[in-house]
Amino acid sequence: MWLRKVLETPVKDAIYWMCKPIYRDAIVFYNEEDKIISILNVCLECSFMQTEQQEIIEGDDSMYPRLKEFFKSIGHEVEK
């Protein structure tokens, strides 16, 4: 799956901004019975991802533009 490939991209230079993330975007993962198994909160503005269990997911400059394109491709409006 394309999204899995993006999220599994090796992080070369992790991004750390000093802003507090505002999660306007999220990816919800479901199991075979359509039950939610995990949620990944995404702040495209400050390049930050965190699970609902507060686990930080590192990404770099190559990952966030691809995530932004993913959201747009499924019809999700993304702030500029």
pLDDT of 24-65, one tens digit each?
A: 899 999 999 999 999 999 988 888 889 989 988 888 788 888
Q: Which residues contact residue 9 at a Cβ distance below 8 angstroms, ignoring those fewer than 6 apart?
A: 59, 60, 62, 63, 66
Secondary structure element (H or E) that encloses residue 6, with its range? helix 2-7
- Position 80 scores a pLDDT of 65
pLDDT bracket for residue 14 (50, 70, 90): low
Classify residue 42 by burial, with Cβ atoms within 10 Å: 0-12, 13-18, 19+.
buried
Q: What is the mean pLDDT of residues 65-75?
A: 89
pLDDT bracket for residue 16 (50, 70, 90): low
